[in-house]
């Protein structure tokens, strides 16, 4: 307006320049970013196809059916060098899962012990836990793996002079030899009994919780669950004629015979992963316990509950709601950190896959398989832990 007066109320809004419109500008930038991403992907795929054609390497996963021709030091399932690359990769994946499951179990157990010990009124125990956490967390994981492998296990005596524990366990440079279970006809019944016992134990636990909420009466849940989980398999073992025996290792003049040997690579990797991850879990547990209001502890003491019952019945159940989310990250880290096994020659999925890659040249396919495996394991772990986190969450009434 030329006279300097303001536009009348209710008039049309002034037009905004094309590039000054936030929605238009956002759309332009998103379109450019998408176009750049498509160009990068196209260039990468085209470059890979060209290089594979120049090197006469056929794409696809048909190479998995070819003969592998190399040995594997730890084989959870039957393996011969005449078998395929696909079976070799499966063995590597099973070895990774074995380390992950065993590592998660013992890291959780040790981590909870360390976390509770950090808050112990005993000065010595608290300081030991404190320095354990501070030292282990600040040493590189690969260094710890090499320490256990080179400084501890490699310094063990020869099989002829093995360290022995009651004649049942032998430790030497070749690993740790333990009794090997021998399964005979009817052993499957014991496995079925164990599964039934687990299902029945959790059903009893659920029923006892509902009963206590309704009547206030407690049920001997721990004793009942222990009886079901251990009693049913033992009963099945006796009824089926004791179909499981043990092949005990025997120390000969120059070597050990019998039993089964945990290779030093597996032992070093598992111990290092457990010790390293447990230090982080210990701090998570300590923080979770301290997040519970001190009034909860005082309320338990006012009811005359001993300290152990207060911790188990009041503090830990509430602390779990704080502990579980970061604990999930530590489980994922442990699984992915197991790929450092290649540093000591443990045949995990990365090590075996690397051998396959070197022999076949199928880099893209092998890397895609690695990505798929770790992504699947991580998603499965996250789904389970998220389900458990929702299950223990507080429900408002």
d(CA 192, CA 255): 37
Dihedral over Cα of 199, 202, 206, 211: its sign: positive
By the 8 A CB rule, do 382 and 332 touch? yes
Please tell me the predicted confidence (pLDDT) of residue 51.
Answer: 75
Which of these, 317, 329, 342, 344, lies nearest to 277 by C-alpha position? 329
Dihedral over Cα of 324, 329, 335, 341: its sign: negative
Please tell me the predicted confidence (pLDDT) of residue 17.
Answer: 61
d(CA 164, CA 386): 43
Which of these, 281, 271, 280, lies nearest to 146 by C-alpha position? 271
Please tell me the predicted confidence (pLDDT) of residue 110.
Answer: 94
Lowest mean pLDDT among 51-55, 240-244, 262-266, 388-392: 51-55
Please tell me the predicted confidence (pLDDT) of residue 1.
Answer: 46
The yes-or-no verdict on residue 237 having pLDDT over 60 is yes
Dig out the tokens for 133 from the structure: 């956490």
pLDDT mean across residues, the chain:
84
The yes-or-no verdict on residue 75 having pLDDT over 80 is yes
pLDDT tens column, 353-364: 999 988 888 888
Which of these, 343, 342, 346, lies nearest to 95 by C-alpha position? 346
Which of these, 143, 127, 126, 133, lies nearest to 111 by C-alpha position? 133
d(CA 295, CA 371): 47
Stated as kind and residue range, the H or E segment containing 246 is strand 244-247
pLDDT tens column, 134-167: 999 999 999 999 999 998 888 888 877 788 787 7
Query: Average of pLDDT values for 297-319?
Result: 78
Q: Virtual CA dihedral for 285, 286, 287, 292, nearest 10 degrees? A: 90
Q: What percent of the chain has pLDDT over 70?
A: 93
């Amino acid at each position: 307006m030329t006279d300097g007066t303001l536009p009348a109320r209710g008039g049309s809004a002034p037009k905004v320049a094309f590039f000054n419109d936030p929605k238009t500008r956002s759309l332009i930038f998103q379109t450019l970013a998408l176009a750049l991403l498509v160009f990068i992907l196209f260039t990468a795929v085209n470059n890979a196809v060209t290089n594979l054609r120049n090197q006469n390497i056929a794409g696809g996963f048909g190479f998995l059916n070819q003969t592998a021709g190399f040995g594997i030091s730890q084989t959870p399932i039957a393996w011969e060098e005449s078998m395929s690359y696909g079976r070799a990769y499966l063995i590597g994946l099973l070895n990774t899962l074995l380390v992950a499951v065993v590592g998660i179990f013992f890291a959780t157990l040790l981590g909870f012990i360390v976390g509770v010990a950090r808050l112990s009124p005993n000065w010595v125990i608290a300081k030991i836990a404190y320095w354990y956490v501070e030292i282990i967390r600040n040493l590189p994981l690969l260094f710890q793996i090499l320490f256990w492998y080179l400084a501890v296990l490699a310094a063990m005596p020869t099989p002829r002079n093995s360290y022995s524990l009651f004649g049942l366990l032998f430790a030497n440079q070749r690993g740790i030899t333990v009794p090997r279970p021998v399964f005979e006809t009817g052993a499957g019944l014991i496995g079925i009994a164990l599964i039934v016992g687990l299902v029945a134990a959790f059903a009893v636990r659920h029923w006892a919780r509902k009963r206590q909420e309704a009547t206030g009466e407690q049920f001997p849940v721990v004793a009942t669950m222990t009886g079901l989980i251990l009693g049913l398999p033992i009963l099945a073992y006796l009824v089926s004629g004791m179909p499981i025996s043990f092949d005990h290792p025997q120390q000969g003049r120059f070597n050990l015979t019998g039993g089964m040997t945990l290779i030093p690579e597996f032992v070093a990797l598992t111990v290092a992963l457990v010790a390293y991850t447990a230090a982080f879990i210990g701090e998570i547990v300590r923080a979770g316990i301290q997040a519970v209001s001190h009034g909860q502890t005082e309320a338990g003491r006012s009811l005359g509950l001993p300290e152990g019952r207060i911790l188990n019945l009041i503090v830990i159940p509430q602390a779990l709601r704080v502990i579980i989310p970061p604990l999930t990250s530590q489980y994922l880290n442990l699984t992915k950190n197991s790929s450092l096994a290649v540093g000591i020659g443990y045949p995990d999925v990365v090590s075996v896959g690397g051998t396959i890659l070197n022999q076949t040249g199928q880099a893209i396919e092998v890397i895609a398989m690695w990505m798929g495996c770790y992504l699947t394991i991580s998603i499965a772990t996250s789904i389970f832990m998220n389900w458990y986190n929702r299950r223990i969450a507080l429900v408002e009434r």
